[in-house]
Structure formats: structure tokens, C-alpha cells
């Protein structure tokens, strides 16, 4: 359940425990950093803990994305229907086969790779629970099952998990930014926006602004706006740094000075940066985008790349299967009226 109210951190900023900062704040952190503002000053100005600033900047530096990681869900199973089907086949052909032999065969036949091959114990469990006494199965049945399993797995898993792709097989496998050699099965999972770049994020945001309500906190779920993101609201003329100015203006309201505490704004003017409003109502939770590609520990050659850069998102298996939804704040505790 969403809390009725957010909490206030030591800096006077409002946050919701367990929930990501809104994209507007995340974006601001990156923008300020690009302008040469020190993280400690960013922390003070935005009233976000320095640990959070550090984390967001580090992630941006490594992934090019300002977005939070994907929350919730489960890791994709390794015992996909396809794998079970192969195990069944092996067992049928050689009823005395050992689990470890099956494991080796799965690897040898390319059904799995070293990242997603089931453990011996998992195979044993499959043999015990899912396959049982194969000798009582007719060949016709098994063939039919085989066929269905293949189709089903192709539909349900292949385009999402792409287990045999060594790039995506491990969630922590680094993937260079800008890589375009993704197999088609990974290029565009079912409900995922094509990019986690700021451009796409705000492109999406610009659309959601149009379709959403007056509450800056409510955002459509990805199921809704992932399709929007594909319908050509890429960059437009009123983009600033790849961002929709309107959306920025709206999200800028997040600046945390509602408590009446003095803002830390002197250095803002001195730095010549965009003069963000510094005394706007607190409204921390606006639309969230989709998850950042967490776990991709990319050592960027270009620290703090321009935020307008479009960096294709290379989804991890976990990304693509379970993080399709953005965060929705229906009852935003921070929405001041």
C-alpha cells in the first residue's frame, strides 16, 4: 500500500520509502551534475540524500539511464517448457540417464548455456515431478506434447528471455552501450519501450502529459504507454536536452521547498544554469518511466554523457520479463492541492 504521506529526510526533502524518486528529480540530478555542480550541492539543493545522488549519478554514468531499476517480479525460470521438453526427450531415449548427463546434454545441444542451465537438482526435480513415469506415455502423446510445448515456449518465453543468448543470459553481464547486434528476440520485448534514454523517457512523458490527469503523480502503466512510446513521439522541437520542456516545467514543481526551508539556490545563479524554480510545492512522485537496465555495470568511456543521447536499452532477462510496468501512484501523498 502506498503510504498516506511521504516521509521527510534529514535535508527536509520528501520521499516515499521503498519507492524511487520521480524522474524529474533524477533528471535534475543528472543535469546539475553535467553543469558541474558537485554532488553534495545537488544533494542539498534538491534535498535528496547524497547517497541517493551518488547512486543515481553512478548509474547514469554507467548505463546512460536516469531511470530506477526494475522493482519486483521474479527471476525468469530456467526450467522453461523448452528445457523440460528436452529433458523429457532425453529421458525417453535413455531412461537410465543421470541428471548430470542431462545437464551436459542440454549444454552440448545448445538448449541452455552455462548461465541458464538448470542445476542437477532442478533436473532431478523435473524428472520426478514433471515427467514422472515416461514409460507409460505413448509416443503419440509425447510427440503431441512436444509440439505444444515447443509452440508454447516460443510464445511465452523465447522472445522474452532468449536464454540462449550469452549477452542476456546473465543479468549482470555487461553490455556495451550502443550495441545494436541484439537478436530480434531481444530487441523489443513485448511491452518494453525501446530505450531508456532520457529522450525516450521524456518523449514518453510528453505524451503522458497529454493524456494524463492534472495530478503529476499519476502515470499510465507501461502496458499503456509502451505502445505510445512506439507511436512516434520521439524528439520534438520543444525538447530541451532531449526532454520535453513542458514536462520538465511540470515536474519541476517537485523542488522541495514546501517545508518553508530556505532553498539552496545561490550557486545556481552563479553557475549560469537553467534557473529552476526553487520554491515550488513538494510533489515527489510523478510519472515513472520504465526500469533502468540495472546490473549492467558498464564502464563508460564518457562519464556523464549528454542526457539527450539515445542509448538503447539492452534488457536483461529480468528486465524484459518482469519490469514492464512503470510505477503508478494513484494516491500520491505529495500532491499538494
Partner DNA sequence: ATCGTAACGGTTGAA
Partner DNA sequence: GTTTCAACCGTTACG
Applying CB under 7 A, the residues found at the interface with DNA are: 1-3, 7, 9-11, 13, 15-21, 26, 38-41, 48-52, 54-59, 68-77, 171, 291-292, 294-295, 318, 321-322, 324-325, 327-328
Question: What cell does 140 get?
Answer: 503419440
Q: Kind and range of the H or E element at 201? A: helix 198-211
Q: How far is the CB of 96 from DNA (least distance, A)?
A: 30
Q: How far is the CB of 331 from DNA (least distance, A)?
A: 10
Q: How far is the CB of 218 from DNA (least distance, A)?
A: 13
Q: How far is the CB of 272 from DNA (least distance, A)?
A: 19
45 or 105, CB closer to DNA? Answer: 45
31-36-38 Cα angle (round to 5): 95
197 or 239, CB closer to DNA? Answer: 197
13 or 203, CB closer to DNA? Answer: 13
Q: How far is the CB of 274 from DNA (least distance, A)?
A: 21
62 or 105, CB closer to DNA? Answer: 62
239 or 290, CB closer to DNA? Answer: 290
Q: What are the Cα distances from residue 35, in Å, to 41, 48, 254?
A: 12, 18, 20
105 or 334, CB closer to DNA? Answer: 334
Q: How far is the CB of 136 from DNA (least distance, A)?
A: 27
- Within 13 Å of residue 120, how many CA atoms lie on the same side as its CB? 6
CA 335 – CA 337 distance, rounded (Å): 6
What is the DSSP pairing of strand 14-15 with strand 239-240? unpaired
151: left (phi over 0), alpha (psi -120 to 50) or beta: alpha
Count CB atoms within 10 A of the CB of residue 164: 17
Q: Which long-range contacts (CB under 8 A, 24 or more apart) does 199-202 make?
A: 199/234, 199/235, 199/239, 199/242, 199/243, 199/308, 199/309, 199/310, 200/229, 200/234, 200/310, 201/23, 201/27, 201/66, 201/67, 201/243, 201/289, 202/27, 202/239, 202/242, 202/243, 202/244, 202/247, 202/248
204 or 291, CB closer to DNA? Answer: 291
52 or 117, CB closer to DNA? Answer: 52
Does residue 115 contact residue 162 with C-beta atoms inside 8 Å?
no
Q: How far is the CB of 15 from DNA (least distance, A)?
A: 4
Does residue 25 contact residue 46 with C-beta atoms inside 8 Å?
yes
Burial (0-12, 13-18, 19+ Cβ within 10 Å), 332: buried
Q: How far is the CB of 230 from DNA (least distance, A)?
A: 19
Q: How far is the CB of 131 from DNA (least distance, A)?
A: 18
Please provide residue 57's backbone torsions phi and psi, each rounded to the nearest 5 degrees. -65, -40
33 or 239, CB closer to DNA? Answer: 33
Amino acid at each position: 500500500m502506498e503510504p498516506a504521506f511521504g516521509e521527510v529526510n534529514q535535508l527536509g526533502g520528501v520521499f516515499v520509502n521503498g519507492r524511487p524518486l520521480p524522474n524529474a528529480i533524477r533528471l535534475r540530478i543528472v543535469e546539475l551534475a553535467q553543469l558541474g555542480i558537485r554532488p553534495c550541492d545537488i544533494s542539498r539543493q534538491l534535498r535528496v540524500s547524497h547517497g541517493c545522488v551518488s547512486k543515481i549519478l553512478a548509474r547514469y554514468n554507467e548505463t546512460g539511464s536516469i531511470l530506477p531499476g526494475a522493482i519486483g517480479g521474479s527471476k525468469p525460470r530456467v526450467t522453461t517448457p523448452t528445457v523440460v521438453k528436452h529433458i523429457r526427450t532425453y529421458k525417453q531415449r535413455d531412461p537410465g540417464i543421470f541428471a548430470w548427463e542431462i545437464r551436459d546434454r542440454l549444454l552440448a545441444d545448445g538448449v541452455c548455456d552455462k548461465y541458464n542451465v538448470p542445476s542437477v537438482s532442478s533436473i532431478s526435480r523435473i524428472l520426478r515431478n514433471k515427467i514422472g513415469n515416461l514409460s507409460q506415455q505413448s509416443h503419440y502423446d509425447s510427440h503431441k506434447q512436444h509440439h505444444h510445448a515447443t509452440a508454447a515456449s516460443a510464445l511465452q518465453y523465447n522472445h522474452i528471455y532468449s536464454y540462449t543468448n550469452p549477452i542476456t543470459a546473465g543479468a549482470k553481464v555487461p553490455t556495451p552501450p550502443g550495441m545494436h547486434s541484439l537478436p530480434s528476440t531481444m530487441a523489443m520485448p513485448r511491452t518494453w519501450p525501446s530505450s531508456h534514454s532520457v529522450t525516450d523517457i521524456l518523449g514518453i512523458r510528453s505524451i503522458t502529459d497529454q493524456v494524463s490527469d492534472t495530478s503529476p503523480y499519476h502515470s499510465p502503466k507501461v502496458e499503456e504507454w509502451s505502445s505510445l512510446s512506439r507511436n512516434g513521439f520521439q524528439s520534438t522541437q520543444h525538447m530541451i536536452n532531449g526532454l520535453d520542456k513542458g514536462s520538465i516545467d511540470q515536474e519541476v514543481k517537485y523542488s522541495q521547498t514546501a517545508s518553508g526551508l530556505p532553498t539552496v539556490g545561490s550557486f545556481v545563479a552563479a553557475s549560469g544554469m537553467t534557473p529552476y524554480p526553487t520554491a515550488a510545492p513538494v510533489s515527489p512522485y510523478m510519472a515513472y518511466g520504465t526500469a533502468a537496465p540495472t546490473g549492467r555495470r558498464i564502464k563508460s568511456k564518457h562519464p556523464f554523457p549528454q542526457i539527450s543521447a539515445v542509448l538503447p536499452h539492452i534488457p536483461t532477462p529480468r528486465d524484459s520479463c518482469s519490469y514492464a510496468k512503470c510505477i503508478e501512484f494513484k494516491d500520491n501523498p505529495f500532491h499538494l492541492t
